[in-house]
Amino acid sequence: MEAKTLNRESWLSAAFSALAEGGVEQVRVELLAKRLKVTKGSFYWHFRDRMELVEAMLEGWKTGRIEAIKAQTRLDGRTPAEGLRYVLSLYGGSSNPRGIAIELAMRDWARRDPRASEIVAEVDRERLRCVSDLFAGLGLDSDDAFARAYLFYSFIFGEGLLARSAAPDRFEKARDICGKVLVPEGV
Amino acid sequence: MEAKTLNRESWLSAAFSALAEGGVEQVRVELLAKRLKVTKGSFYWHFRDRMELVEAMLEGWKTGRIEAIKAQTRLDGRTPAEGLRYVLSLYGGSSNPRGIAIELAMRDWARRDPRASEIVAEVDRERLRCVSDLFAGLGLDSDDAFARAYLFYSFIFGEGLLARSAAPDRFEKARDICGKVLVPEGV
DNA sequence: CGGAGACCATACGGCAGCGTATCGATTCGC
DNA sequence: GCGAATCGATACGCTGCCGTATGGTCTCCG
């Protein structure tokens, strides 16, 4: 049962798909219209212009990601180490490729747009805070915990950047070992 | 003393600047022409079309980066650990921002262009091999050495992605600590 | 000095994207 | 049922970009 009429969410969803696949440059109203099988008449009903769509994307992404990291690091019975391994697994490997693609596209966007940069910074601040707390829960002092969180997220994002085809057969094992280094067993 | 006439290198250099600042989408012949204060008549004298420029960028980047990593990891009297710290310092922090920008733009490019992806993979393969060897020189076995190299480069690239404005005052210390984790002292 | 080639300017056609304007169709409140 | 609001189609002008065609201006060399 398809919704017979589009709404803001339909356009936003399509916009995020376009962002994931081709970067900000590819979220263009006529391309989205084609994808949604309508004309841009529909778009300019739901949005004032392209800027408004783009702004809605930024805001939506920000609140969504901040809610997500808070939920993901709320350890209900889990130990801090388990929590860290869980967060790592969410972005690791080939799980959630769309999420990784959006994450990378967002950051590339942030490199040239101050508005996007601001949003990414807010999200990063929250994320670093949350996983810093987990590392602190392992017994590390404030500076070490922050540094570990910094390493943790640099690895997660950087992994998405490393060419998978550079040595496909060795990556899985490497990831496992990295996991052990990133979240130490005994501290 | 300005060169009174442009050549292929002039255009390539401008193209890399545009790439660093705005991604592939921003290497456009008319924009480059404006930047070089000529018209595109000049461009189409030196290049058949935009594709040829872009292909030259890929090839030039590939050979340049492969030569660079080989030179940087050739330890002339240095210990492996010193070599690793040296390579880390080359991309770390705010040194060489242009190099980092090109690196990131290249990888964003690779995410949607198979040709670019192939080039990046070749460079990554060589880099992983070179720093794997350094880690192996520390006494690690093959799998551990590769994993360490994988972590090493993920960190380097990922660091460029993390919003610096998320906690500007804590990053420097974090980087230092990360350095110690990435290239272990005593193994 | 005169011709050839290197280098760039000018001008054009073509396409794709943004945004606007206007009109058609469907749905919902009353 | 009827009017108004909701949603989308069609058509237009504008801009920025690619690529081509053609002509102009130097410089070098015999």
Mean pLDDT of B12-33: 96
User: Which of A98-107, A124-133, B161-170 is predicted with the least confidence, judged by mean pLDDT?
Assistant: B161-170
CA A48 to C1' C19, in angstroms, rounded, equals 10
Question: Among B34, B154, B81, B132, which residue's Cα sits nearest to residue A150?
Answer: B154
Q: Within 7 Å: CB of A53 and strand C?
A: no
Residue B95 has what pLDDT?
85
What share of chain A in percent tops pLDDT 90? 76
Could you tell me if B84 and A94 are in contact, meaning their C-beta atoms sit under 8 angstroms apart? Answer: no
Q: How confident is the model at residue B1 (pLDDT cuts 50, 70, 90)?
A: very low
DSSP A26: G
From the CB of residue B59, how many other CB atoms can be counted at a distance below 10 Å? Answer: 11
Sign of CA dihedral B20, B25, B26, B30: positive
- The chain-wide mean pLDDT, for chain A, equals 92
CA distances from A185 to A81, A138, B8, B167 (A): 7, 9, 55, 27
Domains along the sequence of chain A with CATH: 1-47 (1.10.10), 57-182 (1.10.357)
Confidence of residue B159 (pLDDT cuts 50, 70, 90): very high
Strand D contact at CB of residue A46, distance < 7 A: yes
Tell whether the model's pLDDT for residue B163 goes beyond 90.
Answer: no
pLDDT for position A72: 96
B175 touches strand D (CB under 7 A): no
Which runs of consecutive H residues, i.e. helices, occur in chain B? 8-22, 29-36, 40-46, 50-72, 80-91, 97-110, 114-137, 142-161, 168-182
Query: Is the Cβ atom of A30 within 7 Å of strand C at any atom?
Result: yes
Instruction: Convert the pLDDT of each residue in B43-85 to its tens digit.
Output: 999 999 999 999 999 999 999 999 999 999 998 899 999 999 9
pLDDT at B4 over 80: no
What's the DSSP call for residue A73? T
In terms of CA atoms, which chain A residue is nearest residue B143? A174
- The whole-model pTM stands at 0.92
Which of A120, A124, A151 lies at the smallest CB-CB distance from B155? A151
Q: Nearest residue (Cα to C1') for D23?
A: B41
The count of residues in chain B is 187
Q: How far apart are CA A80 and CA A101, in angstroms?
A: 27
Shortest CA distance to A112 belongs to which of B172, B19, B96? B19
Distance from CA(A40) to C1'(D14), angstroms, rounded = 17
Under 8 Å between Cβ of B182 and B145: no
Rounded to an integer, what distance in angstroms lies between the CA atom of residue A145 and that of residue A149?
6
CA distances from B16 to A64, B3, B7, B133, B162 (A): 35, 19, 15, 30, 23
pLDDT band at B185 (very low <50, low <70, confident <90, very high): confident
Of A143, A162, A154, A142, the C-alpha closest to A182 is A154
pLDDT band at B5, cuts 50/70/90?
Answer: confident
B112 interaction partners in chain A (CB closer than 8 Å): 21-23
pLDDT given for residue B164 in this prediction: 84
Question: Residue by residue, what is the 3-state secondary structure of A136-170?
Answer: HHCCCCHHHHHHHHHHHHHHHHHHHHCCHHHCHHH
What is the mean pLDDT of the segment spanning A93-107? 92
Q: Is B162 on the interface with A (CB under 8 A)?
A: yes
Contact (CB, 8 A) for A123 and A137: no
Out of A2-11, B146-155, B175-184, which region has the weakest mean confidence (pLDDT)?
A2-11
Q: What is the pLDDT of residues B12-21, one digit of tens each?
A: 999 999 999 9
pLDDT digits (tens, 9 = 90+) for A29-87: 998 998 888 988 889 999 988 899 999 999 999 999 999 999 999 988 999 999 999 99
Mean pLDDT of B127-137: 97
Q: A186 pLDDT exceeds 70?
A: no
Amino acid identity, residue B24?
A: V
Q: What is the pLDDT of residue B140?
A: 96
Question: Percent of chain B having pLDDT more than 70?
Answer: 97
A55-64, A91-100, B95-104, B145-154, range with the lowest pLDDT: A91-100
The tokens for A87 are: 């967060």
User: Is residue A7 left, alpha or beta, with left meaning phi > 0 and alpha meaning psi from -120 to 50?
Assistant: beta
**A-B contacts (CB, under 8 Å):** 155
Residue where the block lists tokens 């084609």: A34
Chain B contacts in chain A segment 86-125 (CB below 8 A): 101, 104-105, 107-108, 110-112, 117-118, 120-125
